[in-house]
């Protein structure tokens, strides 16, 4: 049964609760949002990412990536980006405008790397080839073409500071939409 959330405080709390839940529940729709960034040529790139950590108190979201990824270059040129989350179960769309910092060293990056470096996913950050590299035409599409280099990690944490959220609830009784910042709440026409 769907809980009817009425007040801005109730809705805001539930949004953050769902974001946190998505980091722990592999089946939560918000675990794999779309991240859109701007390229230097004025075009926009969008890709599905995995939401790794959420800090409600600091208003931050984190994902992991290979530091050689094209999105890191895009972020270095323009640190503003947008996440788009959709959940059919909640009937909620959440667009989150963020500023991003790339962390390859320091306590945050080191702590996450220590936690995953012995896991199978560590291979993603140990490849000889950067993401998006062209494979030789005689190569198979298997991961074996990019063997890991255990001495060199290309692991990076993308730390996102939430600037603004645009929340939309689709409901037969009437859609609701709001623009949310850390200190404000504005109801919008859906």
Give the start-to-end residue ranges of the domains of the chain: 8-129+152-188
What is the average pLDDT across 75-91?
A: 93
Residue 99 CA to residue 176 CA, distance in Å, equals 26
What is the average pLDDT across 45-50?
A: 96
| pLDDT above 60 (res 173) | yes
1-10, 81-90, 114-123: range with lowest mean pLDDT: 1-10
pLDDT value, residue 32: 98
43-57, 76-90, 99-113, 125-139: range with lowest mean pLDDT: 125-139
Which string of DSSP letters, residue by residue, matches 109-174?
Answer: HHHHHHHHTTSGGGGGGTBSSPTTPPPPTTS-SSGGGG-B-TT---EEEEEEEEEEEEEEE--TT-
**Gyration radius of the chain's alpha carbons:** 18
| pLDDT above 90 (res 11) | yes
What is the average pLDDT across 167-177?
A: 95
pLDDT confidence tier of residue 43, bands split at 50, 70 and 90? confident
Taking the model in full, what pTM does it have?
Answer: 0.89
| pLDDT above 60 (res 48) | yes
Question: Cα–chain-centroid distance for residue 132?
Answer: 19
Residue 24 CA to residue 122 CA, distance in Å, equals 19
Q: What superfamily in CATH does domain 8-129+152-188 come from? A: Electron Transport, Fmn-binding Protein; Chain A (2.30.110.10)
């Amino acid at each position: 049964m769907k809980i009817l959330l009425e007040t801005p405080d109730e809705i805001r709390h539930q949004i953050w609760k769902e974001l946190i839940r998505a980091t722990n529940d592999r089946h939560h729709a918000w675990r794999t949002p779309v991240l859109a960034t701007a390229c230097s040529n004025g075009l926009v790139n969008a890709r599905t990412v995995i939401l790794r950590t959420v800090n409600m108190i600091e208003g931050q979201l984190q994902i992991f990536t290979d530091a050689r990824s094209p999105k890191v270059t895009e972020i270095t040129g323009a640190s503003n980006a947008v996440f788009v989350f959709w959940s059919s179960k909640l009937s909620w769309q959440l667009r989150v405008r963020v500023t991003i910092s790339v962390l390859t060293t320091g306590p945050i990056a080191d702590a996450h790397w220590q936690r995953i470096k012995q896991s199978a996913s560590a291979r993603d950050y140990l490849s000889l080839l950067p993401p998006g590299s062209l494979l030789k035409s005689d190569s198979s599409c298997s991961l074996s073409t990019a063997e890991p280099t255990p001495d060199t990690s290309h692991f990076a944490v993308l730390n996102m500071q939430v600037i603004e959220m645009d929340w939309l609830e689709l409901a037969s009784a009437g859609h609701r939409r709001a623009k949310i910042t850390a200190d404000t709440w504005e109801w919008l026409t859906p």
